[in-house]
Chain A
Amino acid sequence: MNQIVRISDDALSIACGADAVVEAFEAAGCAVERVSSWGMHWLEPLVEIDGIGYGPATPADVPAMLDGTSAKSIGKISEHPFIARQQRLTFARAGKTRPLSVEDYAATGGWVGLNRARSLEPAQVIAEVLQSGLRGRGGAGFPAGIKWKTVAEAAGARKYIVCNADEGDSGTFADRMLMEGDPFQLIEGMAIAAYAVGAQQGYVYVRSEYPHAIAKLNAAIELAAGIIAPFRIEVRVGAGAYVCGEETSLLNSLEGKRGEVRAKPPLPALQGLFGCPTVVNNVLTLAAVPHILTEGGVSLYDSLGVDRSKGTMPIQLAGNIKHGGLYEIAFGITLNELIYDIGGGSASGRPVKAVQVGGPLGAYIPPQQFDLRFAYEDYAQADALIGHAGIVVFDESADMGNMARFAMEFCAAESCGKCTPCRIGSTRGVELIDRIREGGRGIDAVELLPQMHNARKTQRSTEEDIALLEDLCETMKFGSLCALGGFTPYPVLSALRHWPEDFRR
Chain B
Amino acid sequence: MANTQDLAQLIAAHAGEEGALLPILHDVQHAFGCVDGEAEAAIAQALNLSRAEVHGVVSFYHDFTSSNDPRPHIELCRAEACKARGVEALVDAAQAAAGERVQLKTVYCLGLCSVGPAARVGDALHARLDEAALVALVEQA
Binding site for B on A (CB under 8 A): 11-12, 14-16, 41-42, 44, 167-173, 176, 201, 208-212, 236-242, 253-260, 274, 316-321, 324-325, 347, 356, 359-360, 390, 392-395, 398, 403, 406, 410, 413-414, 416
Contact = CB atoms under 8 A, between A and B. Distances in A.
Contacts of B126: 15
- Name, among B22, B79, B114, B126, the residue most crowded by chain A CB atoms within 10 Å (CB to CB): B114
A12 B85 contact: no
Main secondary structure on chain A at its contact with chain B? mixed
Nearest to B119: A15
Among B23, B25, B115, which residue has the most Cβ atoms of chain A within 10 A? B115
Interface of B: 18-23, 25-26, 47, 56-57, 60-64, 79-85, 107-116, 118, 120, 123, 125-128
Contact of A240 (B57, B63, B80): B63
Nearest to A201: B18
A44 B116 CA distance: 13
A173 B111 contact: yes
Contacts of B125: 11-12, 14-15, 212
A44 B115 contact: yes
B115 A319 contact: no
B22 A242 contact: no
Contacts, number: 150
Contact of B113 (A260, A316, A403): A316
Interface of B (DSSP majority class): loop
A172 B111 contact: yes
Contacts of A317: 114
A367 to B, nearest CB: 15
B16 to A, nearest CB: 13
Nearest to B118: A15
A239 B22 contact: yes
A317 B114 CA distance: 7
Contacts of B118: 15
27 contacts: A14-B125, A41-B115, A171-B80, A171-B81, A172-B111, A172-B113, A209-B107, A212-B125, A237-B26, A239-B25, A239-B26, A239-B64, A241-B61, A255-B18, A256-B20, A257-B21, A257-B57, A274-B18, A318-B84, A318-B114, A319-B80, A319-B81, A319-B114, A320-B84, A360-B79, A390-B113, A394-B84
